[in-house]
Amino acid sequence: MKRSESNTATDGGSIAREPAQSPFETVSEIEITRSERYRALVNEYVITPAHILWDDWRARVGFLITLSFLLIGTVGVLLVEETYAGHGDTLVAPFQTMAHPLGTDGLGRDILSQLVHATPAMLEMMAAGAIFSTVMAVFWGVTAGYKGGSVDQTMMAVTDVLMTIPGLPLVVVLAAVIDPSSAWMIGVVLVVNAWAGFARALRSEVMKLRQESYVEASRTMGISLPAIVTKDILPNVMPLVVVNFVTTARNVIMMSVGLYFLGLLPNTGFNWGVMMNAAYGQGGVYLSSLFHWFYAPMVVIVTLSLGLLLLGQGLDRIFNPRIRARHMNTDDEPTSEPQH
């Protein structure tokens, strides 16, 4: 469509010369091709976050640690042979032979192999817990915050009750009575009430957003509730959600390993907590010949926990608009504007 200065109305809008041109058919002056739009999306969602992550050494370390655990859990399992009782001599000290770089345990099982083969179940547990708690919290918080009134009051009463119940005893009791068998189930049980706190935080955020003029505009225009929630509300709380996802994953790991260490969760395959439990049972706290067996899983847990903590802080920075603006590619400004 061609335009000139002469067909611009006083309020800046354009007057259609051709009678067939209705205002509803007016399209944007700047045309964005599909490839340009994709480039903008990639720039916004991939390149800019990557820049920010890479710029901060803490976030970089966190990202690399988390990524390496993901790789160990997927590729590493294929590379490292699964160990079995009597695989090597019992209690081989670490850093002595190439066959068992981290030594062996009291049954001659390779420690490195145990650590690696415990990872997939841990990742599943983390994923299950984080996904369940995020979905629950988002549903609960957004509904309560958006609906308000008696719905909000009822839903918040439920979260208040859940928040007061101490998590660890509740999880222990549930695990003892329900006896969950798969890693996914355990992950869900571990966050059974942990989502309530985040639901409350989300609710207050949504209550603030609800008052924004653009949400009001959408409401006045009669846009459906699901559309408002997904297009206007959710993108704005996404930063909180992503950071919470990582934090929850970290809590799930710390809790599950602690409970496995006590033997309070059903024993399924290799596990860092179970390793600690076995070493502890044979005197790992005081026998220095068992230290490599007892401390190796602890080092792994602390590393993963540190990685997730740093990643969470880094993600927090990614979503901080002030930091974000500095890293945005400013050459193609019109196309890099946020899409939501």
Q: How far is the CB of 84 from other proteins (least distance, A)?
A: 27
Contact flags string 141-170 toward other proteins, x per CB under 8 A: ----------------x--xx-xxxxxxxx
Q: How far is the CB of 12 from other proteins (least distance, A)?
A: 37
Only one of the segments 66-74, 87-95, 220-228, 284-292 lies at the binding site for other proteins (rule: CB under 8 A); that segment is 284-292
* Binder of other proteins out of 107, 172, 223, 323 (CB under 8 A): 172
Q: CA 152, CA 229: separation in Å to the nearest integer?
A: 16
Q: How many residues bind other proteins (CB under 8 A)?
A: 45
Residue 50 lies near other proteins (rule: CB under 8 A): no
Q: CA 236, CA 226: separation in Å to the nearest integer?
A: 15
Residue 208 lies near other proteins (rule: CB under 8 A): yes
Q: How far is the CB of 258 from other proteins (least distance, A)?
A: 5
Interacting positions 84-113 with other proteins (CB under 8 A)? none
Q: How far is the CB of 128 from other proteins (least distance, A)?
A: 19
Q: What is the 3-state secondary structure (H, E, C) of the chain?
A: CCCCHHHECCCCCECCCCCCCCHHHCCCCCCCCHHHHHHHHHHHHHHHHHHHHHHCHHHHHHHHHHHHHHHHHHHHHHHCCCCCCCCCCCCCCCCCCCCCCCCECCCCCEHHHHHHHHHHHHHHHHHHHHHHHHHHHHHHHHHHHHHCHHHHHHHHHHHHHHHHCCHHHHHHHHHHHHCCCCHHHHHHHHCCCCHHHHHHHHHHHHHHHHCCHHHHHHHHCCCCHHHHHHHHHHHHHHHHHHHHHHHHHHHHHHHHHHHHHHCCCCCCCCCHHHHHHHHHHCCCCCCHHHHHHHHHHHHHHHHHHHHHHHHHHHHHHHCCHHHHHHHCCCCCHHHHCCCC
Q: CA 127, CA 70: separation in Å to the nearest integer?
A: 11
Interacting positions 224-263 with other proteins (CB under 8 A)? 254, 257-259, 261-263
Q: How far is the CB of 60 from other proteins (least distance, A)?
A: 14
Q: How far is the CB of 264 from other proteins (least distance, A)?
A: 6
* Binder of other proteins out of 1, 93, 99, 173 (CB under 8 A): 173
Residue 185 lies near other proteins (rule: CB under 8 A): no
Q: How far is the CB of 109 from other proteins (least distance, A)?
A: 21
Q: CA 276, CA 296: separation in Å to the nearest integer?
A: 9
Residue 286 lies near other proteins (rule: CB under 8 A): yes
Q: How far is the CB of 288 from other proteins (least distance, A)?
A: 8
Residue 217 lies near other proteins (rule: CB under 8 A): no
Q: CA 274, CA 280: separation in Å to the nearest integer?
A: 10
* Binder of other proteins out of 174, 185, 229, 241 (CB under 8 A): 174
Q: How far is the CB of 3 from other proteins (least distance, A)?
A: 46
Residue 305 lies near other proteins (rule: CB under 8 A): yes
Interacting positions 261-280 with other proteins (CB under 8 A)? 261-264, 276, 280
Q: Which residues are near other proteins by CB under 8 A?
A: 58, 157, 160-161, 163-170, 172-174, 176-178, 197, 204, 207-208, 254, 257-259, 261-264, 276, 280, 284-286, 288, 294, 298, 301-302, 305-306, 309-310, 313
